[in-house]
Each structure stands twice: as C-alpha cells, then as structure tokens.
A and B are shown apart, each in its own frame.
Chain A
C-alpha cells in the first residue's frame, strides 16, 4: 500500500521552499537596487575626481616651459590606481596622463559627461573654453565586483535560514499537532468493542469537525447495534413464552390422556414443539452472531463464563462433560459474555450429539485463551470438515445435527477476530473430533494506563 502523505513533512518542505524562493526574489531585487545605487555613487566619485583634477592639471600645463610636451604623472604608490585620466588639447594631443593610463581605453577625446565602453566607465570634462579636455576612466570590473560582494552578502544567510526553517517549522507543526496525536492514541488504545464517544476538547478547529463526524458515526453504529440486540432479545422473549405455553399444555395433555392414540399424538406434537423451540433458539443465536455486537467493551473472564455453560449442560448431558481450566487466575478476552456462551454451548452440544455413546466430552480452556472441545467417535473426512461450518449443512454420515451449531460458533469466532478450527482425528488421538477457538487474550493493563 502506498504510504499516506505526511502533513508535517508537506508543511516543512512547502514552507521552507516558499521562504527560500521569497528570499531569492528579495536578493535579486536588492541586487538590482544595490547595483543602481553603486553606479550612482561611483559616477559621483568620478565627477568629483574630475572636478578636482582638472584645475590642477590645467595649472600644471600652463606653468610648463613647453606646454605641448606630454607628461606622465609618477605613481604615488605601487597599488594599481582606481582611475586613469588623460588631459588633451583641442587637437587631441595628450598633454598629461596618469601613471599606467592606456590611451586605447579612452574613447573620443572631446567627450563631455559619462560614457561606457565594454571594459570601462568614462567621464569627460573641458576647461579654458574647450581648449583642454580631461577624461577619467574607471574599470567596470571594479563595479561588478562590488555588486557581486553585496549579492553574496545577501545570499549567505540563506544557507543558515534553510536548515533553521526546516527545524523550526518541524518543531512548531509537531507542537501544533500534539492534540491530533492524542486523539489518534485515544482511538488506538480503546478496546475494539468500545463504542463510546471520543472526547477531545483540545483539537484544533480544523480537525474538530472530523472528530465530531467520527463521534456521530460511532453513535449511529452503537444505536444500530443496540437496536439489533434489543430486537433479538425481545423477539426471543416474545417467541419463547408462547412456545413454553404450548409445550407445557401439550405435556399436561399427554399426562392426562389415557394410553392410546390421543397420547401418541400428544407425544408427537410435543416432539415437534421441542424441535421448533430448538430451531428458533438456533436462529436467534445466528441472528446475534451475524448481527455484530459479539465484542465486549470490557474484557470478560472466560473461566467464569465457561464454568457456567458447562455446569448448565452437565445437568442434562447423557455423558460426562469434563472441564479442564487453567490452574492460575482468570483468562480474559474482549468477547460479549452471551456470545461466548452461545459459542461454547454450540461446540459442546455438537460434541454431545455426535460423540461416541458413553464417552466423556472433554472441554478445555488454556491460559492463552484457547477453547477446545473434544469428543470420541469416528474420524470425519477432511472434505466434510470443511463443509461443516456452513449454514444448514449436516455431516453426511450423521443422522442429525451439524445444521447450524458450528456455523454459529464459527461466525461468532470470526466476529471477535478468532477462528474456529475443526480437526479429526482429535489432537493426540486416533479417532474423535476436536473443535477449538484461539481467542485473543486480553493481557492485564500496565500501571501507566496503556494496554499491553
């Protein structure tokens, strides 16, 4: 099955990606603004430089003995100069140039104002009624380097921001979802048969409607199950009393009737009523088994329940019903007590009906909650065993029974997550029939309140 998407993971990745994209966009915009401002600042610096150099350079040229002779200014230090400049006359002859100034990088000598070549930013100004022209050149690489430095400075925090954002969002989402986790735990730890509403006052407003819907669903389920149980119980009651009346009256009739045809007829009616009673009881049991409600909200002690069932059957059984219980303590499982009694009773009645005459029925409950009912008798073929848990299927070699009893037991077992296993010959024997159900044992709760 495909793993369900994690809300926490989605929020962490989504929010982090969003933050990173916003940061990058902000960096690009900031870079452009910085580049524009830097260009303005550099241009201002070039203009000011020109305005300071120009009077000095003109004075220098006018004070020369031979004004037309070009001169190069000696460098003040070994560091490469940020600017290069040239001073030319009206004919374009170079009168003065800074140290390292390459005339090739300058454009037209009569430039006034700013211009840009592929490698340099240029500024030109004139003096003495446009007889002397000064040009200043600044390498573009210097400006690019400044923009690059500023951009890197803006991007660097992103390296820290991404992991910090992942961790921070993860922590915050985890904190925000703690009530949802509590809700999940509340559902997980409750017993399988617990159909009471789940109370979660701390749930966030977005999740609360889901919890309310779940509670409404549980309520509807509980109502449906209770209605079905009430119906089964009431039907049983309404049907049993007239049956009891008819049976009692027929028995009185048989008692009062003289020997002869009337008494024989009363005996036959009594037998039919008995059959009708048993069939209606089985149908009621089947309705309960198939209608759900076989799980209990609280664990039941199978030892007590099985003892009651066996004690009850021992009164009327034609052969001994031997009961073996675990030596220590209760054996608990989440099964409805009445459903367990119906299951156990059907398995034992089946054994009584089909067991070899005079041989005891062995009923056992292990401390791991395994119920076993064994009877002596002929071996049942594997193909027949597989058919026995179907409704109204009787064992081919047998004259009666196997109609509903094992189907009811099997349905109840499935309802509590267990399985009815039929084996013939019985375990450790060469003959007989063994029916067993491994219930899910309910282990004692730990002291911290969590179910083990």
Chain B
C-alpha cells in the first residue's frame, strides 16, 4: 500500500471524515502532528464537494459551504485549495472581464483518479510526520483485515509515547478499535460492516495469514461461489457473518455467494448498509445467472444492470423462464418485482426505481466490473475478411517471423493494435 496513491487518498478522506465527526477539539496541539494528512483529507473532501460544478464563480460562497458542511475553516480552505491546484483538480482563471473564477477538474467517471492524485501528493510531500504516516498506514492495514498492531512496521518505528498517542487518536476518531485486548488485534469499525463480537470469536480460530488469504481471494471477485466450501475457516467465516453471504436458489440448485466485508465505501450509516446489502444481492443473482443458470447464461452482467436502470425500458429485463426463482431474493429485499409475461411460463423482472435501488445498481455494477470476463467467439465473417485482404498486413508478416521464434517488440505490438484500431 505504501506507494498506492488511490488507497492513500481513500484513507486520507476517511481519516479527515472521522476526525471531523468524532473529535470534539480537532484544533488541539496534538493535531498539529497530523497537519499534512488533515490538509490532504480536507482537499479530498472539498474535491468531492465541488465535483460537477465546472465553474465556481463565487468562491466566497464555496468557502462558507465548506465551513458549514465540511467544518473546513477559511485558513484551512486555502491550504486545501492549494493542494487541489497542485493536484490539477481545480485551476484559477481570470475571465475576459477580469473576474476570478475557479475551474473544477474533478473526474466524474474515474473516481480513483481523484484519490490517486491527492494520495500521490501526500506521498511526495516531505512535511508529513512519522505519527501521521503511522496512523494512515495503520488504518489501511486494519481496513483490509483485522491485524495485530505489533505487525505494522510504521507503528513499531514510533516511540512508545507516540505509538500510544496515535492509537488513542485512532480509537477516539473511530478509525481503529480492538476486538480482543489480550491479543491486541485491531480492526476498523468505520469500514467493516460486521459485529466486533463475532469478529473476535472468529479470529480465535483463524490465523492471520489464512484469514488474509481468504479475504484477498474474495476481494478479487466480489460474489465468490462458496457453495461447496469444505475449509472449516470459510464455513466459520460465513456462519459468523464475517463474510456476508447470499443464498440464491433457482433451476440450477442452491448457490452461496460471498463478499469481503470491506467494499471501499464508508458504510457507517444504516441506510448505506441497506444499499450495500441490496447491491450484493444483485451481484449474487447475476453471478448465479452467469454460473448456474440452466437455460441461458449471462455473459455480460453489466449489460443486465444497464437494462435494469434504463428508463426507456421501464427498468425491465426481457421475459425469461428462470427469472422468477433466480431474482426472488431481490423481491424480498424490495429491489424489484416479478411480473408474469404474456408469453407462457416466462417472467419479467422490473426494478423499483427508488433512489436507493438505483444506487444499489450503480454499486453492483462497480462490484461486477472488477471481475468481468469478456466473452470469446470466433471471428465474424467481416473480421476474417480483414485478415484475408491484408488490411493488417503488418501482423501477418510478423507471423512468418514468429516461426523463427522471435518475440514481438513493444513498438511492433503497438503498430499492430493501431492497425486494429483504424476506422
């Protein structure tokens, strides 16, 4: 994580949110040691606030909103603004009539890019103190999986007093908390949607390495099929609710799809937890459709989610015989309804287009996107024609050379793809 700008950016945002929400005297002497991280965190929050504005013509008003909504005082605002300018997320401009305005350049599609820019800025600034560095790295460790503080290098490098101060601040801010005082294992209550008691009980039987391996595997593919898991660790993790799991039953039998607890979102509010639950349920149903459906298998889950959120299709999927059972769970979670189609034996699934459900679809799309596979088919007739008429003659020449077992160079591969791209 040490050089991962995106993760750092996310941690900085969470750190600043937690300080603002949970620390009463956030301008105490102790907080001076966290100045760089707070400034970067405030810049991240400010970036999220102005996203979509394009132009801010009244900066004074923005300052007031930042003070009211984010608790960013005017002097802090200027520091955050400078950081945003350094990260090229805003720029100052003087109009033709001499008016000063701010141009907003925060990415609206690739959110990770915003976090990365600010995370990298934090990484390149040499003004950060060992204490704030330790807190950010610790937070990132415990967000991934509960861990012993002694295993976190940046925390171990601190003096005893500093270490105590960092842990105290982290605990008071609600960023880290221990599940078991004796073992000194910490987790992040802000970002784990599981019960601390169950987590503590589970960690008694799981070693850190095995647990980390399991979490890593499930994080790589949200909605991993663990129906036939025999590993006691997995069974215990599912039973204890450490791995949120969803049962889907349809014509292909019963399947269990599991998710890692942490999703990258702040899920502190109950309402957000409900949306996350809905998103996971959607992903579980789509995974079932991809892997266990007996009539038609879903090749592109994201297209199903697009169709579900498409107003021009009345938020409906096409009629299918398997829909009634497969999407039954979504009905019980009030995500949608199943309607009998006029075609015999077929059903239509229709999303109930509430704000929560639409957001759940958006989150589900992001979850699915992580592990989406592109279907492979034989080249169509027109594609074969391209090969025959020599439109990509360069790669065909290269195939001859390849018989002599020479591997392609980067520039040759780039040329080849350029030929494939040409329109």
* A and B associate in one complex: no
